[in-house]
Amino acid sequence: MKAIDLRLRSFDELNRDMVDLLREHFNLRMQKVNEQLSRHTQLGRVRRDIARVKTVLNEKKVALHG
């Protein structure tokens, strides 16, 4: 997920992405606890994607409200 692609999306799309990423993060954390996680890099990737979406959402809010 690239920030440039995220900036082209609407608030609703970004919020849906955020919910999906948070669900995926939760599921990966549960897999890690139960020692079922096969690729540990997935957890870091999802965390970075969540941060990207939050950053773009914040940028859009600042631009909207000035």
pLDDT, position 65: 86
User: In terms of Cα–Cα distance, which of 50, 41, 59 is closest to 20?
Assistant: 50
Average pLDDT of the segment spanning 9-25: 96
Q: Model-level pTM?
A: 0.91
Distances from the Cα of 64 to the Cαs of 13, 28, 43, 48, 56, in angstroms?
Answer: 17, 34, 32, 24, 12
pLDDT, position 60: 93
pLDDT, position 1: 80
Domains of the chain, with CATH numbers?
A: 3-65 (1.10.287.310)
Residue 36 has phi, psi (to 5 degrees) of -110, 0
